Amino acid sequence: MADYTTLRMGGPAGRIVAATSADEIIRAVRAADEPILVLAGGSNVVIGDAGFPGTVVLVRSGGLRVLSQDAESVTVRVEAGEPWDDLVATTVRNGWAGLECLSGIPGSTGATPIQNVGAYGQEVAETITGVEVYDRLDGTRRTVPAADCGFAYRGSIFKYQDRWVVLSVDFRLSRSPLSGPVRYAELARALGVEVGDQVPLADARAAVLRLRAGKGMVLDATDPDTRSVGSFFTNPVLDQATYALLRERAAELGEPPAWPGSDGMVKVSAAWLIDKAGFAKGHPGPGGVAISGKHTLALTNRSGTAHTGDLLTLANTIRDEVHDRFGVTLHPEPVLVNCAL
């Protein structure tokens, strides 16, 4: 399975079937013996060294069509296998605002609602109106409205389960030559504007691509730092008591970067925690894995020949040290298949 993941890791599959349309995806899933793994871009998955013993359905559908439009907005339906960054480039080119800050993210469109993909102040939950799925429980094909998708920080009802297979995603985007208000301070600095300002869509996309490339977060066959799943850990969301404990333990290190959340919760920087726990950029692990030389949150197959077990050993070491040092538990962002932390 290494050939089908951005980590370039993972043992063999029992069987691999490619599906190029929603109908083919459904037929492949119905026909396959258990277990089944539905895989598209492979950019947010870690597959164990033993591989996957069942059928892997490769989602290779593609395309976009306009469902409706008016003077202010356009609603589009995008097939699950459409490469995500190709979609973002199309929306920017057409003057449709809402996805521009999600430029450069690898993977497929169908994966974005599963994880509620977000970056630089945007999340797909803000523009998704519905997700078309095949329900393996009752054998039906239907659209789940956005309100029923259970979108949360890097999560949804579709994550960590195999009931629903995403077939397509509907997005409502603004017809505007300008981005939404820039919410992320790092992006605002890169654009030379203030937080809350709007910029041409192409400028926002270009700035995001530059920032992501500088962190090894844009796929590049010549750059070993991009053999990763992007951010390996999510930013922890803490209650006030746990946040107070963190601040106490980190007092001599300075204030942990944090952002207020709902219901009094606080989101803190996982990258800061990892760095302050003693794991700098480029920190080596066993077997040729390492923390990215560009971004502390990315764990990489630096050698190109490392095993999943090596990666998980490094991840466990980081998680345990962060917990011992700060009392905060880090959780993996990618889906772990036939392996565990």
Are 87 and 105 a contacting pair, CB within 8 Å? no
DSSP collapsed to 3 states, 116-143: CCEECCEEHHHCEEEEEEEECCCCEEEE
| 241 Cβ contact partners less than 8 Å away, ≥ 6 residues apart | none
Tell me if residue 228 is catalytic. Answer: no
Smallest CA-to-CA distance from 227 within 336, 311, 315 is with 311
Q: Of 79, 82, 132, 333, which is the active-site residue?
A: 333
What's the CA gap between 245 and 80, in Å, rounded? 42
β-bridge pairing 36-39 and 118-119: unpaired
Tell me if residue 231 is catalytic. Answer: yes
In the sheet where 266-268 sits, what is the strand order? 237-238, 266-268, 258-260
Tell me if residue 163 is catalytic. Answer: no
Q: Across the chain, which distance is largest between two alpha carbons, in Å?
A: 59
Q: Of 8, 154, 205, 319, which is the active-site residue?
A: 154
DSSP collapsed to 3 states, 235-255: CCEECHHHHHHHHHHCHHHCC
Smallest CA-to-CA distance from 122 within 54, 59, 181, 40 is with 181
| 233 Cβ contact partners less than 8 Å away, ≥ 6 residues apart | 270, 274, 297, 315, 318, 319, 330, 331, 332, 333
What are the two backbone dihedrals, phi and then psi, of residue 164, each rounded to the nearest 5 degrees?
A: -105, 135
What are the two backbone dihedrals, phi and then psi, of residue 243, each rounded to the nearest 5 degrees?
A: -65, -40
What's the CA gap between 79 and 59, in Å, rounded? 10
What's the CA gap between 19 and 26, in Å, rounded? 9
Taking the CB of residue 116, how many other CB atoms lie within 10 A of it?
21
Q: What residues are paired with 78 via a beta bridge? A: 64, 169
Are 73 and 171 a contacting pair, CB within 8 Å? no
Q: Of 227, 231, 292, 302, which is the active-site residue?
A: 231
**Active centre residues (catalytic):** 154, 231, 333
